Amino acid sequence: MENLKIALLQIAGTGTQEGNLQKGIKYCRKAKQQGADIALFPEMWNVGYEIPEDIGRLKETAVSADGSFVRSFAKLAKELDMAIGITFLEAHEPLPRNTICLFDRKGELLYTYAKVHTCDFGDECRLDAGEDFYVAKLDTAKGEITVGSMICFDREFPESARILMLKGAELILVPNACPMEINRLSQLRGRAYENMLAVATCNYPKGQPDCNGHSTVFDGVAYLPEQPDSRDTCILEAGEAEGIYIAKLDVAQLRRYREREVHGNAYRHPGKYGILTEKKITFPFIREDYRE
């Protein structure tokens, strides 16, 4: 398999849904011109990650997963022969959800994933959480790769990436909307390292409230036989500015690495992990705003 080109669309919202639609289409076309196989948007692109306090207004800004905004990117994916991960505030009852749809290069829907770990300590307390994590085999012009998604705060729970790895993911696409500083970047590095998979994260640029760019791709390959020491798994880190940032992921190298190294599912003992599924929460982790 040739190097897979992943385009992170680190772009700012326009302030209107129609403006975001047109800007999103424009930047997908630019990404294709640069040879991208996959284009990924930052979190909740249709509204620029705005979550109104008024529930009525919130629901008005939400769009259906099979509505015109999302379907426009399905049609565009087919036209461009390029996979697109489009993000949006999804119309859902009783409350909207924070969602990504992944369309393949034929415009076919591979999965609809809603953020499982909503930020209930903040504005996302007004959103419904997703129920599960999904993976799918993505056919690209460079070959087939198994892809899944997590969204922003999902990154802070090792279980998110672990479940995706156990379901077969080789690449995790991560829409994002928060400051990407050293510790959050370290989380992404850790998720890639411990699961031996690639993690591609697309953030909003500086200028979007509470965001600072620094979209990244970690390829998860920490060791190579020809190198005596470990290598940096970060193959791309954007700056703060708006733009298209393209990483070339060596999928063949990643697959060889997964066949020989010790992480991922190679030496786990799941029979000893029963406490991980217990629901009891004790001090000091009790939070009044927690939703199961």
- 5, 90, 101, 115: which one is catalytic? 115
Question: How far apart (Å, rounded) are the C-alpha atoms in residues 46 and 67?
Answer: 12
Pairing of strands 135-140, 109-114: unpaired
172 in Cβ contact with 155 (< 8 Å): no
220 in Cβ contact with 198 (< 8 Å): yes
Active site residue 167: no
Active site residue 194: no
Closest CA to 147 of 101, 78, 80: 101
**Chain centroid to CA 29:** 20
Q: What are phi and psi of 291, to 5 degrees?
A: -120, 130
Q: What number of other Cβ atoms are within 10 A of residue 270's Cβ?
A: 9
- 28, 101, 152, 202: which one is catalytic? 152
Question: How far apart (Å, rounded) are the C-alpha atoms in residues 184 and 191?
Answer: 11
Closest CA to 189 of 153, 226, 161: 161
Active site residue 152: yes
Residue carrying the six token digits 């640029």: 205
69 in Cβ contact with 99 (< 8 Å): no
Catalytic positions are 43, 115, 152
